[in-house]
Amino acid sequence: MLRLPQDLTYNEIETMSMQNEIIAYLKNQGADIVRFVDISKLHNKQNQGYPTAILIGIVLSSEFIQKMTNIPDYLEQINCKKEVKEDEFHMAETKTDKLADDMATCLSSKGYSAYSQSENHIYSTGFYDEKTKSTALPHKTIAGLAGLGWIGKHNLLVTAEFGSAISLCTVLTDAPLKTVLHTPAKSHCGNCNVCETICSVKAIKGKPWKIGVSRNELIDVCKCSTCLKCLAVCPWTQNYMKKNKTTMNQHDIINDSIKDYSFLKAMYQDTYFPNLLVDKGKHILLELCSQIESKKPENLDSLYKLTQAATDKFNELEEEFEDNDSEIETAARECIAMDLEFIAKAYSFEEADIEELIATRDW
């Protein structure tokens, strides 16, 4: 039977209120996944005496997965160009770590005990074993207990929805939160050995995971170069990419300036904006470029009709942003307008007025 708020105890209402606050805060800060997990049955060495874990996840964009798929030496390239800090995976890992640190600080300020499992914190508190390159309670173990997925042959979490395209971090706490506890899903890797085949350093051993199988039976962590190739080529990750990628290929555009341009860059770099929706925004802009090339507008009025039609599509997308605790606000508005202005100039409409380009906007 459904219990109405007046039927709940004070403690239950307080728990619901705190839980909703945590979800709202983390989602507002860019988290795509928030779960509250019962870890009380784990060994004390793993849970450090904490009964609950807050799992925080950010989903990597389909565009990023496509980029890694298309560029076999992606990691080597960004290292060579010293662009690691601009890499989406690095930014997502940094962001989830910061969210975990901030959440632990917030819970501590409310009188609860909390331990962030961010990379820096487990290093500084001795919870990371440098010799074995391991921690007693990996994020993916908690994700399994949350019912998100299973451990792949590449020793990464695999989910049915996103494959391995997720960055995770966790907070252990004694705060009174309503938790879930699932038996970890069975492996769905089957006879697939794509990750083993692509691993140039032969770190992946090809053994399927099940409860009781250790990390060392799956991979040789000392050989792993963290190239992310296994993450990208996993069929489950590829399925996610194909379902969510934009149908317009940027390299099909004729204009050379457009081919090399990073659309909506500021929005991709800000985790407040869900990557899946930014992908849709990029698709709108690429469609606009394709229309300009096919229809060849002869004057500004003809151009404005096309850009304003694209703006209308962004208006329709606004509701999806709101459904994901985001919105097309000042930063997004400036980013979209700047890109539309760039498009106009790239097609020799130097005199285009930026306000006219987006005159029909609702944001």
pLDDT for 74 equals 86
Is the confidence at residue 292, as pLDDT, over 70?
Answer: yes
* pLDDT level of residue 73 (50, 70, 90 thresholds): confident
Domain boundary among 210, 226, 243: 243
- Mean pLDDT to the nearest integer, 227-235: 96
Structural domain that includes position 299: 250-357
Do 219 and 272 lie in a common domain?
no
Please report where in the chains the tokens 């350093």 appear, as a residue. 201
Is the confidence at residue 307, as pLDDT, over 80?
Answer: yes
Domain boundary among 243, 262, 279: 243
Q: Percent of the chain beyond pLDDT 90? A: 76
The count of structural domains within the chain is 2
Question: Could you give phi then psi for residue 177, rounded to 5 degrees?
Answer: -125, 145
CB atoms inside a 10 Å sphere around CB 16: 14
Distance from C-alpha of 114 to C-alpha of 15, rounded to nearest angstrom: 16
Q: pTM for the complete prediction?
A: 0.70
Distance from C-alpha of 290 to C-alpha of 275, rounded to nearest angstrom: 22
- Tell me 36's DSSP state: E
If DSSP codes are grouped into helix, strand and coil, which group holds residue 52? strand
Is the confidence at residue 24, as pLDDT, over 60?
Answer: yes
Q: Percent of the chain beyond pLDDT 70? A: 95
Is the confidence at residue 8, as pLDDT, over 70?
Answer: no
Q: Give me the chain's average pLDDT, please.
A: 92
- For residue 344, being part of any structural domain is answered with yes
- Pair 167, 60: CB distance under 8 Å: yes
178-204 pLDDT tens trace = 999 999 999 999 999 999 999 999 999
Do 173 and 27 lie in a common domain?
yes
Do 281 and 351 lie in a common domain?
yes
- For residue 55, being part of any structural domain is answered with yes
CA 283, 231, 180: angle at the middle one, nearest 5? 95
Domain boundary among 221, 243, 265: 243
pLDDT for 247 equals 55
pLDDT for 105 equals 97
Is the confidence at residue 6, as pLDDT, over 70?
Answer: no
* pLDDT level of residue 275 (50, 70, 90 thresholds): confident
158-179 pLDDT tens trace = 999 999 999 999 999 999 999 9
